[in-house]
Chain A
Amino acid sequence: MLAEKIQLEPDETILMLVRKHWFIITLQMLSVVIVAIFPLVAFIVFSFLPISLPVSMTGYGISMIALYTGWLICCWMALFGVWTNYYLDVWTITNKRLIAVDQRGLFFRNTGSFRLERLQDINVSIRGILATFLDYGDLQAETASEDRDFVARAIPKPQELKALILSATDKITYSKPLGDRQSTEV
């Protein structure tokens, strides 16, 4: 599992695991469900319209049901593909590090981590009516490294997460001797 892959240090504990907000995964799954029932809805709508199809469907009823079941199997697989992206796309916040896994596809994932003492700034952005009411938004962590910033998109309660990360960072910073502290503070 992920905890074994991360290889936590002896005195390191996981404070929180953060995934995207439930609303995002619900929207994505709903879109798959709509795609799944679309042929059925289209068939029902066409059967009520006073138009005739260019090809006669008489005698193909069973075959059409079989094809539709095949379509449902594909959608079932797609549904789990969506859920897998949600499940594996996770930020792990420990009392020492932040580990970000960005799952973009079944065989495409980026993993990055930084020690909390290297954290410089955290920006939270909540955009839109839904994001405001459902309390989700983007969190961007800027590190001392110039290589990359860490961005978690559409995460729930971003302000609380920011407070948690800052509190963990403060604990590390102020638990160090003054000499070490000055070298890490910017």
Chain B
Amino acid sequence: MDIQISTYFPMLIQGLFFFLLFLFTLYGVFLAYHWFTFGTSKHTSQLALVVYLAGGAVLFLTLASIT
């Protein structure tokens, strides 16, 4: 039985994509909670959230285009 690992790679990458998306979202929620609850400036917290999401969006779009 000749099973090639390359057959399962697209599926694994797709699984990785959704796992990372879940992790990124959860982590983002935790971070945003901390920034807006314990942070010292609302403006800085908002900016950090925008940068976090924008950078994440670029990376996830790259990953999505590959998968």
Contact = CB atoms under 8 A, between A and B. Distances in A.
A72 B45 CA distance: 22
B13 A66 contact: yes
Given A60-B9, A70-B63, A76 B36 contact: no
Interface string B25-67: 0010011001111111110110010001001100110110011
A167 B34 CA distance: 32
27 contacts: A1-B37, A1-B41, A1-B42, A2-B38, A2-B39, A17-B40, A63-B9, A63-B10, A63-B13, A69-B62, A72-B59, A73-B56, A73-B59, A74-B20, A76-B56, A77-B27, A80-B27, A80-B31, A80-B48, A81-B31, A83-B48, A84-B31, A84-B35, A87-B35, A87-B44, A106-B34, A109-B38
Given A63-B12, A76-B55, A76-B59, 17 more contacts: A1-B36, A1-B42, A2-B39, A59-B6, A63-B6, A63-B9, A66-B13, A66-B63, A74-B20, A80-B48, A83-B48, A87-B35, A87-B39, A88-B35, A106-B30, A106-B31, A106-B34
B18 to A, nearest CB: 11
Contacts of B16: 66-67, 70
A62 interface: yes
A100 interface: no
Interface residues of B, number: 34
Interface residues of A, number: 31
Contacts of A59: 6
Q: 9 tightest A-B contacts by CB? A: A66-B66, A66-B13, A69-B63, A63-B9, A73-B59, A2-B40, A88-B38, A69-B62, A73-B20
Q: Is the interface of B mostly helix, strand, loop or mixed?
A: helix
B23 A77 contact: yes
The residue in B40, B52, B62, B63 that gathers the most chain A C-beta atoms within 10 A of its C-beta is B40
Interface of A: 1-3, 5, 17, 59-60, 62-63, 65-67, 69-70, 72-74, 76-77, 80-81, 83-84, 87-88, 90, 92, 101, 103, 106, 109
A106 B27 CA distance: 10
Interface of B: 6, 9-10, 12-13, 16-17, 20, 23-24, 27, 30-31, 34-42, 44-45, 48, 52, 55-56, 59-60, 62-63, 66-67
B38 A77 contact: no
